[in-house]
Amino acid sequence: MRAAWLLLPALAALSAYYVYLPLPGAVSDPWKLMLLDATFRAVQQTCHLIHSLRLSHHLTVLNYLICTFDKLKSVSSEDIKITDAVFDGVEVRVFEPPSKGDEDLKRSVVYIHGGGWALASARTSLYNNLCRIMAESLNAVVVSVELVPEVWFPEQYHDALRATKHFLQPDVLAEYSVDPSRIAISGDSAGGNLAAAVCQQLSKDEDLPVRPKLQALIYPVLQAFDFNTPSYQQNMNMPVLPRYVMISYWIDYINGDYDLARELLINNHTTLNVGPALSFRTRLNWTSLLPPSFKKNYKPVVQTTGSAAIVEQLPALLDVRAAPLLADDATLARQPRAYVLICENDVLRDDGAMYAARLERAGVPVTLDRFHDCFHGCMIFTMWPTDFSAGVQTRNSYIKWLDENL
Ligand SMILES: *[C@@H]1O[C@H](CO)[C@@H](O)[C@H](O)[C@H]1NC(C)=O
Ligand SMILES: *[C@@H]1O[C@H](CO)[C@@H](O)[C@H](O)[C@H]1NC(C)=O
């Protein structure tokens, strides 16, 4: 009995140690964020344990847990009609506001969900809820693209592209009463990566009868060239996306080996002796693309010699379809008007900021929406028990921009 009383404070101290994380003063709801992060870390560590015992792939287990937990929540919607469909072999979920008789055609958003190209689903309550609210507030048809788990690049990219191109056909748009001149392509995190890549590919397609009017990218992942940008350095331990987790999502996306992480961490794949990387160096120049306020104590990591074999074996690392930030200026100049949302406390902040700067220089009108107290992934966290003021704040700003520009 007495031993139990001694154990209790020890356990409490241990859990506090596990949960506590020094966060920047500006982040909103810090304790809630620490709890979310600790839960996520504990679940991820369990999945990695199962993985190392060779029982199952860690992403399979993680996805299973996310979807099981998600079933406990229900999202009801009285007004919005929700249907599942298949667009050129790709599953999509369509959210349609009620039709009010003889009204005009509706606006529309193609939405690609986040989750490191491998987790979550268009059917989870987090994304269901977001898309329903978008359909309601914009009175728009929202097409939420489902990504298949357990595949790698370029499958996710091809799926997003196929579903989008199918939807952009005049007869399909007519079927959903969508105005062909008022369509946006959008997505968060890895979905923002796919949205940007899809827009670039559509812009090269000469025969396309209908083109998107806008793109809206929410804290997008846009490059695997440099894992030491100022934001990667400043936020390397930031929940819910520490740098090593982002690097492992990349490794999974391009089907690489986890041992690569050590090399990617120090940019050994894009050193000055790696020929194919050289031409991209000028396109990803933090000195000219980021304002000084982003840099703080930043020290660029540019090594002289590294491993040229990495990019030879995994060309996807420098493939613009996987890393849209590396596109050439001529492609950028053809992109639709853009909205890029970035969070200060996010390793991906500078991916988004640099893409916004490059688009703007190429002559594309861009709105860069920067949130100082927000963290990566916040926009989908708006429902109890993972409700954050950062979630509502970012979502409102995003929907407002769409409303004013679409
Ligand atoms: C990056 O931009 C700065 C400032 O414009 C310039 O001095 C530098 O040479 C550029 N670096 C590369 C690799 O292009
Ligand atoms: C980076 O590349 C160099 C040159 O090939 C190699 O000696 C070094 O071990 C590599 N670093 C890591 C962390 O693998």
Q: What is the mean pLDDT of each run of 10 residues along the chain (406 residues)?
A: 68 72 78 83 84 84 78 71 96 92 87 93 90 96 94 97 98 97 98 98 95 98 97 93 95 95 96 90 92 91 91 95 98 98 97 98 98 92 85 96 98
- Answer whether 189's CB lies under 8 Å from 199's CB: no
* Residues having CB within 6 Å of any atom of ligand 1: 281-282, 285, 287-288
Residue having the nearest C-alpha atom to atom 14 of ligand 2:
263
Residue nearest to atom 1 of ligand 2 (CA): 306
Superfamily of domain 68-223+321-405: Alpha/Beta hydrolase fold, catalytic domain (3.40.50.1820)
Please tell me the predicted confidence (pLDDT) of residue 173: 97
- Can you give the pLDDT at residue 77? 67
Which atom of ligand 2 sits closest to the CA of residue 306? 2
Listed by start position, the domains of the chain span 68-223+321-405
Enzyme catalytic residues? 189, 346, 376
Cβ of 271 closer than 6 Å to ligand 2, yes or no, is no
Distance CA 347, CA 294 (A): 12
Contacts of 6 (CB under 8 A, 6+ apart): none
Cβ within 8 Å of residue 181, ≥6 positions away? 213
Ligand 1, atom 13, residue with closest C-alpha: 282
**Ligand 1 site-directed mutation target among 225, 229, 282, 361, most atoms within 8 Å of CB:** 282
pLDDT at 72: 63
For the residues of 297-351, what is the DSSP string, one character each?
A: T------S---HHHHHH-GGGG-TTT-GGG--HHHHHT--EEEEEEEEE-TTHHH
pLDDT of residue 70: 75
d(CA 209, CA 225): 34
- Ligand 1: atom nearest CA of 281 is 13
In the chain, the largest separation of any two C-alpha atoms, in whole Å, equals 78
Residue 386: what pLDDT? 82
Q: Is 266 in the pocket of ligand 2 (CB under 6 A)?
A: yes
